[in-house]
Amino acid sequence: MRWTPGKRNENLEDRRGASGGGGFRGGGGGGLKLGLGGTVIVLILSLVFGKDFTSMLDSGGAPSAAEQPASGAPVASSAVEERMVDFVNFLLTDTQNTWREIFTTSGQPYQEPKLVLFRDGVESACGFAQSATGPFYCPADMKVYIDLGFFDELGSKFGAPGEFARAYVLAHEFGHHVQNLLGTEREMRRAQQGNPQQANALSVAMELQADCYAGIWAASANKRTIIEPGDIEAGLTAAAAVGDDRLQRMGQGHVNPESFTHGSSAQRMEWFKRGFAQGRVAACNTFGQ
């Protein structure tokens, strides 16, 4: 990718210097929007490390001001990690400029999300999450959360290294923010409550649409010569790496399509490519296929 460090985005919230401990749980609200791999990753980690990570799936309300970790605390970091912060900051700015333009063109208001950097664990308006949860979007506070250590795992454990693979991850999470603004997230939750038997299928449609939205951002980046040869292939590798079928095969040795929540590797690649090829929100109707 062609990018340069820029001015720190005011929507980048750095909590790496805050403690990730604590067991705060609130009531109701939001629901943790697990990112890339979601529940399946949590189950895999439980199997691999012999430790129960399923408590991370609890949802909760927003912590009080006293319980919120402070942003801006001293951060012990390396030059490599700070380079990663610069990269994430660039992606935050670029993706939001892209979506603001798309919304403005269609006559819709756009509200920017925040991006929270953390280590080990973090409180969100959707509850407490540990790093093993992976990147996630919380619709209740309109924030994307990520422990930068996930990017190392994306390459070493999931076989999807490189900057564009990382860009795909965040573009997917920002896709969930777009769904929140458009009301898709709320409609999907109501549909799940009204028809529990279709809950997994609706979740898959939601995740594939976020992949398609990631493709829309990639199309914009490509027009602006940010993308280099091989980048799209890296994004497709990342999409395939977190397909439900691949993760289930890694974690339990067999595939159970009935329990998919994010879509197969082939589906994730297909919808990312569709968004990239057409560059339009209307092309991403995963619910109407």
Q: How do beta strands 143-146 and 136-138 pair?
A: antiparallel
Residue 7 lies in a domain: no
Local structure of residue 183 (DSSP, 8 states): T
The pLDDT, as a whole number, for residue 221 is: 96
With a pLDDT cut of 70, the percent of the chain lying above it is 80
Percent of the chain with pLDDT over 90: 57
What span, in angstroms and rounded, lies between the C-alpha atoms of 106 and 120? 40
Is residue 210 a part of any domain in this protein? yes
Residue 4: inside a domain: no
Residue with tokens 């997230």: 185
Asked if pLDDT for residue 58 goes beyond 50, the answer is: no
Write down the pTM of the prediction: 0.81
Report if residue 48 sits inside a domain. yes
pLDDT score, position 37: 45
* Sheet with 33-34, side-by-side order of all strands: 12-14, 114-117, 143-146, 136-138, 33-34
pLDDT tens for 66-113 read: 344 445 556 778 899 999 999 999 999 999 999 999 999 999 999 999
Residue 110 belongs to domain spanning:
12-288
Distance CA 277, CA 252 (A): 35
- Please give the tally of structural domains in the chain: 1
- Residue-wise pLDDT for 156-194, tens only, equals 888 888 899 999 999 999 999 999 999 999 999 999 999
CA distances from 152 to 30, 98, 104, 174, 264 (A): 29, 27, 36, 20, 23
Q: Of 115, 129, 215, 132, whose CA–CA distance to 172 is shortest?
A: 215
Least confident among 19-28, 64-73, 211-220, 277-286 = 19-28
Which one is predicted more confidently, 87 or 21? 87
| Residue pair 240/265 in contact by the 8 Å Cβ criterion | yes
In a domain, 63, yes or no: yes
List strand residue ranges (DSSP E) for the chain, in order. Answer: 12-14, 33-34, 114-117, 121-124, 127-130, 136-138, 143-146
In a domain, 3, yes or no: no
Residue 28: band (very low, low, confident or very high) from pLDDT cuts 50, 70, 90: very low
